[in-house]
Structures are given as C-alpha cells and as structure tokens.
A = this chain, B = another copy of it.
C-alpha cells in the first residue's frame, strides 16, 4: 500500500518543448494507460512503463516527478472526458422535466465511460486513497456542479445562490459516488443500483423544484 500521497506538484517536472519529447510523453501516457487497464496501477512498475514506451527510466522521470504524477495526469485527462460527457448531455436541456431525464442519461453515460476507458476503473478506484487525486476529483465535481447550477437557472429554477450551489453539489457528488460504487459491482447489480439512483435523483429534483 504505497501511495504517491505526498504533496507533489501534479505538473510534469519539465514541460516538453520539442516535438520529439512531446511525442515521448504521449507515448508514455498511452502505455501507462494500457498497462494500468491491464494490471492495475499498483502492479505496474515505472520500469514497465519506460520499457513499454521504449524510453529509459531517466526520461520518464524527467517529465513525471514520481509515479503518482503519471497517474494524476491520466486522471485529469479522464476527468475532462467526464466533464465533456456531462456538458454534452445537459447543454440542450430546456425544462425541468428535460433536466430530470438528462440526469438519467448522464448516469448511464458516465457509467459507460468507465467501460470504454478501462484504465479509468483502476484510476478512479485509487482516487479515494490518494490525497492529490482526491483534490483533482473534488475540483472536477465542483466543475460538474457549477454546470448543473447554470442549467438549473436556465430551466427557471429560482432560489438563493448558496442553496442552489449546495443542491448542485449534492446531486453531482451523489452521482459520482454512485457510479464509482457501481463499477465495483458485477454489471447486473450495478445496473440495478444505477436505475434506482436515477429514479431517486429525478424524483428528488422534481419534488424540490416543480412549480
């Protein structure tokens, strides 16, 4: 149980400025993602990543200060995919009912994302155990929530600022928690949990804000 939990800059130690090194960094991340999906981040050695990317250990450490930095970089990329997923689904929502339906779709697609990008399972599993990843995650959830809040206002929900902010946070926290829990379950059980959550979340939204 070694975690790269120390206070560590999430940023690469050095930004690659030449074409050659930028390609190397991409290759490193691609290999790392594949290996993590295949074996889990704990079982993947830095030397495995270096070998797989056709790069020396020294090169690897030139761009990533430690093993955690590789994982954090991947986590940030996957987070971005998640944000795009949420925003894509909610951008066209025009009514409260539409939002309730959109929430259900988000749950499904968010869950689907973990199946499309196998490394996300391991990385998100590791998230709660690692301070730096938790911070990345918290920031991401806030971004989700901020977007939901905008949508809530757009469909005519009123209320003082902090109340809406709290509610949006709650919904997105629960959504992320639920999905992250679901990926630890066998698929059929996961579906039941997610379906239950979808009904609950939509019902709660309408109960709270329907005129």
Contact pick for A173, options B41, B193, B201, CB 8 Å:
B193
Given A126-B129, A181-B173, check contact A42 B193 (CB 8 Å). no
Task: Please tell me if the beta carbons of B42 and A2 are within 8 angstroms of each other in the complex.
Answer: yes
Please give, as numbers and ranges, the residues of chain B lying within 8 Å of A197 by CB-CB distance.
170, 174
A192 at the interface (CB under 8 A from B): yes
A15 at the interface (CB under 8 A from B): no
Chain B residue at minimum C-beta to C-beta distance from A200: B204
Given A5-B43, A42-B2, A129-B128, check contact A178 B174 (CB 8 Å). yes
Task: Please tell me if the beta carbons of A130 and B1 are within 8 angstroms of each other in the complex.
Answer: yes
A80 at the interface (CB under 8 A from B): no
A184 at the interface (CB under 8 A from B): yes
**Per-position binary interface string of chain A over residues 18-43, scored 1 when its CB falls under 8 Å from any chain B CB and 0 otherwise:** 00000000000000000000001111
Task: Please tell me if the beta carbons of B196 and A1 are within 8 angstroms of each other in the complex.
Answer: no
A134 at the interface (CB under 8 A from B): yes
Chain B residue at minimum C-beta to C-beta distance from A129: B129
CA distance A179 to B204 in the complex (A): 19
Contact pick for A204, options B2, B125, B127, B204, CB 8 Å:
B204
CA distance A171 to B2 in the complex (A): 33
Please give, as numbers and ranges, the residues of chain B lying within 8 Å of A85 by CB-CB distance.
none
**Per-position binary interface string of chain A over residues 120-137, scored 1 when its CB falls under 8 Å from any chain B CB and 0 otherwise:** 000001111111001000
**A residues lining the B interface (CB < 8 Å):** 1-5, 40-43, 67-68, 71, 125-131, 134, 138, 166-167, 169-170, 173-174, 176-178, 180-181, 184-185, 189, 192-193, 196-197, 199-201, 203-204, 207
